[in-house]
Amino acid sequence: MDKKLRIDLLRVPKHVAIIMDGNGRWAKGKGMSRIFGHKNALTAVRESIETAADIGVEAITLYAFSTENWSRPKMEVDALMKLLIKSLKKELPTFQKNEVQVNAIGNIDSLPDNAQKTLAEVRELTKKNTRIILTLALSYGSREEIVKAIKNISKKVVNKELDLENIDENTINNHLYTFNLPNVDLMIRTSGEQRISNFLLWQMAYAELYFTDILWPDFRQEHFYDAIIEYQNRERRFGKTSEQLTE
């Protein structure tokens, strides 16, 4: 049976986040450099975005480069930045064809100037697309994001722009990079690792976590379907009992 036919299109997650892990191990297994793995991961990126859009997912966020990744060898970091620029330019026609709006979160100012420029151009050219929002987490760390939000909220309290007693979850949400996105419903991590790795900690408070042994360069449409089917087979209670949900 076609896996897509097993999916209830009325219950797909609104927001899917993916930790794209395993590029280095995939390349090493073939006797190649780590960057070879990164280059061969683009098919997985494309298929995941297109599949998500096809089944009605509203937003997909990809953990492309973390704040911790800056500590990797300079040669690999430079290659990743060049790959980012090349990929954005190459995929632009596909983004337009599939009505993908490109977004980015993280400390974008820390990226190389040419990467910032290309990213800004692609964001501008796709801003009117409405089928799905693709968010690239670049130079991103969730703890840094939360600290930044707290500082901004504190400044408003000090400047009498915000009353301390009025601070609630919505206040924090509105000061995060993801203020315009729904909370994450499903997080997928490839390569067998079972960690969140400082990714969207606040936004994933009630997300379903799905881990697969598939290395990211091998991740395809059928694997995305597997994650969605598993998501739909789980009972999402949000603190309630099964009986309450039935009622």
**Catalytic sites, residue numbers:** 21, 69
Q: Which amino acid is at 39?
A: K
197 marked among binding-site residues:
yes
Q: What is the DSSP string of 165-205?
A: GG--HHHHHTTSTTTTSPPPSEEEE-TT----TTSSTTTTT
70 is in an annotated binding site: yes
> What is the spatial distance between Cα 100 and Cα 35, in angstroms, rounded to a whole number?
26
25 is in an annotated binding site: yes
196 is in an annotated binding site: yes
Is 236 labeled as ligand-binding?
Answer: no
Does 26 belong to an annotated binding site? yes
Residue 223 annotated as part of some ligand binding site: no
Element (H, E) at 122: helix 113-126
The answer to the question of whether 173 is labelled as a binding residue is no
66 is in an annotated binding site: yes
**DSSP, residue by residue, 38-98:** HHTTHHHHHHHHHHHHHHT-SEEEEEEEEGGGGGS-HHHHHHHHHHHHHHHHHHHHHHHHT
Q: Backbone phi, then psi, for 60, in 5-degree steps?
A: -135, 130
Dist. CA 107–CA 145, nearest whole Å: 9
Asked if residue 72 belongs to a known ligand binding site, the reply is: yes
Residue 226 tokens read as 């597997």
| 103 annotated ligand-binding residue | no
Instruction: Flag whether 21 is marked binding.
Output: yes
Q: CB under 8 Å to 197, separation ≥6 — which residues?
A: 19, 63, 66
Cα separation of 153 and 147, whole Å? Answer: 10
Residues placed in the known binding site for substrate:
22-26, 34, 38, 66-68, 70, 72, 189, 195-197
The annotated binding site is made up of 21-26, 34, 38, 66-68, 70, 72, 189, 195-197, 208
Q: Give binding residues for Mg(2+) as ranges.
A: 21, 208
